[in-house]
């Protein structure tokens, strides 16, 4: 057995329910490719969210609402292939579930069939309860995203925290309750005061994942690039625990220097390098 493989059984939605009920926190991160997913599974991450943040960190857009549905389905499948023993959650991008209910159900289903996802996430309030009920009735697990909803930034004039007033706080709790009753098997709550999160936890029974919503949720999720120091600006609730951006830059600068000095191309590692032994065999195909 490889020393890289995790020493844990496969994680499923049932696993997350058990962890939540026993008070054992679970860890979630965004992920957008098979190679990274493989390493995150080996690290013990329980949930990988293939988020519409890929529009920004993968495709270079300035807004998450520009995420193409077909691309996100393909990225989701890649993540699941890389981490088959981890719960993979797919974000339903902007306008993929806002039209007809039939179209929304088909798009959600694509994430399970073509995208290999275990669960789909959609930003919702209580008005989406009938849709969640129909998606769930089709056999598609749903995570309902409440609180701050990034796909609504055009209405709010920018990204702002939610639940700051008693009326807003009460509405978020009502949203969470209605969506659970409609069949959501998980909730994600974003950028709300700690007290709002605690009220949601008291009013619901499903696992709750938080992002910028205090320490109380059953699970926590962050954008991987924020955690690893790959973004120029992180939100206040995401503190980098590594600085891979500068490490990548340093390695690439070294590579530029080695190319300029004609040190690249030899089958013998150059003095002072720690290159692994090179093989003359072609790289094998992988599943």
- Does any domain span residue 275? no
Query: Tens digit of pLDDT for each residue in 173-205?
Result: 999 999 999 999 999 999 999 999 999 999 999
By DSSP bridging, strand 219-222 and strand 208-211 are parallel
For residue 273, pLDDT over 60 is answered with no
CATH number of the domain enclosing 232 = 3.20.20.60
Per-residue tokens: 194: 């700690």
pLDDT class of 234 with cuts at 50, 70, 90? confident
Distance of alpha carbon 100 from the chain centroid: 26
Quick one: pLDDT at residue 266? 80
Averaged pLDDT score across all residues of the chain: 92
- Does any domain span residue 75? yes
Quick one: pLDDT at residue 252? 98
Asked if 12 and 207 touch (Cβ cutoff 8 Å), the reply is: no
For residue 1, pLDDT over 50 is answered with no
Query: Tens digit of pLDDT for each residue in 45-60?
Result: 999 999 999 999 999 9
Buried b (16+ CB within 10 A) or exposed e, 76-112: bbbbbbbbeebbbbbbbbbebbeeeeeebbebbbbbb
Asked if 48 and 40 touch (Cβ cutoff 8 Å), the reply is: yes
- Does any domain span residue 287? no
- Does any domain span residue 249? no
- Does any domain span residue 135? yes
**CA 117, 123, 126, 132: dihedral to nearest 10 degrees?**
-20
Count of domains for the chain: 1
**CA 62, 63, 69, 74: dihedral to nearest 10 degrees?**
50
The catalytic residue positions are: 190
Query: Which ranges in the chain belong to alpha helices (H)?
Result: 13-22, 34-43, 54-57, 69-82, 101-113, 129-137, 153-156, 166-182, 194-203, 224-227, 244-260
Distances (CA, A) of 70 to 52, 73, 92, 238: 12, 5, 11, 29
- Does any domain span residue 64? yes
Q: Which of 14-28, 136-150, 199-213, 263-277 comes out lowest in average pLDDT? A: 263-277
Q: How far apart are CA 117 and CA 80, in angstroms?
A: 7
- Does any domain span residue 136? yes
Per-residue tokens: 232: 């120029």
The residue to which tokens 């003095």 are assigned: 271
SS (H, E, C) 126-166: HHHHHHHHHHHHCCCCEEEEEECCHHHHHHHCCCCCCCCCH
* Structural domain for 84, as ranges: 13-243
For residue 19, the SS3 value is: helix
- Name which residue leads in pLDDT, 35 or 280: 35
Query: Tens digit of pLDDT for each residue in 75-131?
Result: 999 999 999 999 999 999 999 999 999 999 999 999 999 999 999 999 999 999 999
- Name which residue leads in pLDDT, 3 or 162: 162
- Does any domain span residue 128? yes
Return all residues near 231 (Cβ < 8 A) that are at least 6 apart.
Answer: 57, 223, 225, 245
């Amino acid at each position: 057995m490889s020393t890289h493989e995790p020493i844990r059984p496969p994680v499923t939605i049932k696993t997350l329910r058990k962890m939540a009920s026993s008070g054992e926190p679970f860890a979630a991160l965004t992920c957008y490719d098979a190679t990274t997913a493989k390493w995150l599974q080996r690290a013990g991450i329980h949930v990988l969210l293939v988020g519409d943040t890929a529009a920004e960190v993968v495709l270079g857009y300035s807004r998450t609402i520009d995420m193409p549905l077909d691309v996100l389905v393909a990225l989701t499948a890649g993540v699941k292939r890389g981490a088959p023993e981890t719960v993979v959650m797919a974000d339903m991008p902007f306008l993929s579930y806002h039209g007809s209910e039939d179209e929304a159900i088909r798009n959600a289903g694509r994430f399970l069939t073509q995208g290999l996802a275990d669960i789909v996430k959609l930003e919702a309030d209580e008005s989406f309860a009938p849709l969640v009920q129909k998606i769930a009735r089709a056999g598609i697990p749903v995570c309902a995203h409440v609180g701050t909803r990034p796909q609504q930034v055009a209405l709010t004039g920018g990204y702002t925290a939610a639940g700051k007033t008693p009326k807003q706080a009460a509405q978020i709790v009502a949203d969470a309750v209605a969506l659970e009753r409609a069949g959501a098997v998980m909730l994600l709550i974003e950028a709300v005061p700690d007290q709002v999160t605690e009220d949601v936890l008291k009013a619901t029974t499903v696992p709750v994942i938080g992002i910028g919503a205090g320490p109380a949720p059953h699970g926590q999720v962050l954008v991987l690039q924020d955690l690893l120091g790959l973004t120029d600006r992180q939100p206040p609730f995401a503190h980098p625990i590594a600085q891979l951006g500068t490490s990548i830059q340093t390695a690439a600068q070294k590579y530029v220097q080695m190319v300029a000095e004609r040190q690249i191309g030899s089958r013998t590692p150059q003095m002072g390098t720690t290159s692994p032994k090179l093989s003359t065999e072609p790289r094998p195909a992988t599943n």
